[in-house]
A and B are shown apart, each in its own frame.
Chain A
């Protein structure tokens, strides 16, 4: 099972890095209007995210690992 995780992680990371390689020109600064919207920001509401994590950590064994807040928008 650990092998499966590593394999999935490698595939996802490779896909992300590949997209990152194209990313320099993928979205120009002038095209980031929608990416800057609060609905496009991961964990835009930190209290909601921490509350959800808190509840899940007390109910589920597979807690943690939901990524981090913020976004790659680069709008600010």
Chain B
């Protein structure tokens, strides 16, 4: 999300979310009798992040709607819509006293996906196309997945690949060097043709390409009647413009646009384990992940969760996750960019590239209603209402020697300074019919 638009989106986003729900229910009501595993899901998430005083913060409302229907015995059609309505405040310039230069912004992003799936007795293949659009960022993605259950049906191997043709609106800086380049502003026009293709305005703004190739291999294994394991390997190659076009970094006396490398290769591996506890009618979940990339961001997370049925229709899940990452090799605390005579080839104020550790704790409550002889609401075989709440705790780490940094890192405005950094709330409704 990289936008600076006019206010007024929250109402629009809520309207979109409610509208989607209404349309979905009407559509389902009018639909002919379908196969048992057709599925519809609507949800809305609220992410609220707090920064210092009245000068910071970020709020994101994220409605989603999915619909999957069978087209005969072997083919499924999926359609999905998601939106992001973002508002908040961020620093204009990454510098040692960035709070004084916070500015407000808001943005809305729309994303639509169409997918076609084919499934046999033990194998599945699917293809999808996604288009995402917002004022200053366009995304067009195609992808495919394939999976097969090995004989015995205790092992599943899955492969996935996607390619994304993205475009980022940027200031046309002509032949200026990175140290002289000016950042995009909310007042700059970002023209489009047909809504999903960027259209340059020479001398003012142009659209820069970003290609993203993502591949993933997954192996899922039943280890016992009460335990299964999943191991995944993930790789991604990003090529093109990856800076935030709005962000400026104080380098000496100048404030050029953020400048980061055009190529990034990412790798990660993860392992997940589920163990069912029959006597408790509960399950424990373990998840660990390790990550590395060519910008030398090294990170990892560990997550533990516990699911407990309460009666037949209530499911409670509690979870806790800790995460830590090292800084990208070119990331510096603002003081060092600002006071060193040269910042180096690259300079950034991107918090995703800073060193940080965080923790997430939360819970999820699911109300399950299964229709017997009579469908739920006259339509669904099974209906689930989910309510989830998470709290994010944060511990910012200095990228450089803190002893030699008289300004500290508290005012860099990358993160807030309070222990509780953000709250996430999610409400969802899932129905199979």
The residues of A with any CB-CB pair to B shorter than 8 Å are: 1-2, 4-5, 8-9, 12-13, 16-17, 19-20, 23-27, 29, 31-35, 37-40, 42, 45-48, 50-51, 54-56, 58-68, 70-74, 76
B225→A27 contact, CB < 8 A = yes
Considering the complex of A and B, which 6 residue pairs feature the smallest CB-CB distances, nearest first? A74-B153, A62-B299, A65-B268, A65-B234, A24-B152, A62-B291
Are the CB atoms of B155 and A62 closer together than 8 Å? no
Please determine whether B219 and A51 come into contact, CB atoms closer than 8 angstroms: no
Across-interface contacts of B154 in A (CB, < 8 A): 20, 23-24, 26-27, 72, 74
Kindly state the separation between the CA atoms of A66 and B153 in the bound complex, as whole angstroms: 22
* Contact of A64 with B268 in the complex, beta carbons under 8 Å: yes
Convert B203-237 into 0s and 1s, putting 1 for each residue whose CB lies closer than 8 angstroms to a CB of A.
Answer: 00000000000101011111111101111111010
Q: CA–CA, A17 to B66, complex, Å?
A: 34
Residues of B within 8 A of A56 (CB): 323
Number of A-B pairs whose CB atoms are under 8 Å? 220
In the complex, which residues of chain A have a beta carbon less than 8 angstroms from the beta carbon of B272? Answer: 42, 66-67
Chain B residue numbers with a CB within 8 Å of A40 are 228, 274, 276, 283
For residue B189, CB closer than 8 A to chain A, the reply is no
Rounded to whole angstroms, the CA-CA distance of A62 and B317 in the bound complex is 25
How far does the alpha carbon of A68 sit from the alpha carbon of B291 in the complex, in Å?
16
- Nearest residue, chain A, Cβ from B155: A20
- Contacts of B82 on A, CB cut-off 8 Å? 50
Inter-chain contact B271/A35, CB cutoff 8 Å: no
Contact (Cβ within 8 A) B150 A51: no
B156 cross-chain contacts in A, Cβ below 8 A? 70-72, 74
Given contacts A31-B225, A47-B66, A60-B299, 14 further A-B contacts (CB under 8 A): A2-B267, A5-B268, A5-B290, A5-B292, A12-B271, A20-B219, A35-B228, A47-B430, A54-B62, A60-B356, A62-B299, A65-B232, A72-B156, A74-B149
Q: Contact partner of A12 among B223, B231, B268, B283, CB < 8 A?
A: B231
The answer to whether the Cβ of B417 comes within 8 Å of any Cβ in the partner chain is: no
Of chain B, the residue at the smallest CB distance from A31 is: B225
Minimal beta-carbon separation of A52 from chain B (angstroms)? 8
Q: A39 to B226, alpha carbons, bound, how many Å?
A: 11
* CB < 8 Å neighbour of B232 from A2, A55, A60, A68: A68
B106 to chain A, nearest CB (A): 15
Can you list 19 A-B pairs with a CB-CB distance of less than 8 A?
Answer: A1-B296, A5-B267, A23-B223, A26-B152, A26-B224, A34-B276, A42-B272, A46-B41, A46-B66, A48-B426, A51-B426, A61-B352, A63-B291, A64-B214, A65-B232, A65-B289, A66-B270, A73-B153, A74-B222
Residues of B within 8 A of A60 (CB): 299, 323, 325, 352, 356, 358
Determine how close the nearest CB of chain B comes to the CB of A56; give it in whole angstroms. Answer: 8
Contact call A62/B297, Cβ cutoff below 8 A: yes
Q: Is the CB of B222 within 8 A of A26?
A: yes
Using known A-B contacts A39-B274, A50-B64, determine if residue A72 contacts B216 with beta carbons closer than 8 Å: no
Q: Does A68 lie within 8 Å of B158, measured CB to CB?
A: yes
In the complex, what distance in Å separates the CA atom of A35 from the CA atom of B276?
8
Q: How far is the CA of A61 from the CA of B149 in the complex (A)?
A: 33
Q: Which of A25, A34, A55, A61 contacts B299 (CB 8 A)?
A: A61
CA distance A32 to B195 in the complex (A): 49
Interface residues of B in 255-270 (CB under 8 A from A): 266-270
> Of the candidates B62, B84, B232, B301, which one forms a contact with A67 in the assembled complex, judged by CB atoms under 8 Å apart?
B232
Interface pair B222/A27, CB less than 8 Å apart: yes
Partner of B269, one of A1, A5, A25, A54: A5
**Measured between alpha carbons, how far is A37 from B309 in the docked complex, in Å?**
11
Highest count of chain A CB atoms <10 Å: which of B158, B295, B353: B158
What is the bound-complex CA distance between A37 and B315, given in angstroms? Answer: 12
* B243 interface residue per 8 A CB criterion: no
- Asked whether A61 and B229 contact (CB < 8 A) given A20-B150, A20-B219, A68-B160, the answer is no
Cα-based distance from A19 to B221 in the complex (angstroms): 7
For residue A12, which residues in chain B have a CB less than 8 angstroms away from its CB? 231, 269, 271
Check if A66 sits within 8 Å of B289, measured CB to CB. yes
Q: Which B residues are CB-close (under 8 A) to A38?
A: 315
Question: B275-288 vs A: 1/0 string, CB under 8 Å?
Answer: 01010001100010
Check: B307 CB closer than 8 A to any chain A CB: yes
Q: Tell me the smallest distance from the CB of A44 to a CB of chain B, in Å.
A: 9
Chain B neighbourhood of A26, CB < 8 A: 152, 154, 222-224
B280 to chain A, nearest CB (A): 11
Q: Distance in Å from the Cβ of A4 to the closest Cβ of chain B?
A: 8
Report if B428 contacts A (CB, 8 A): yes
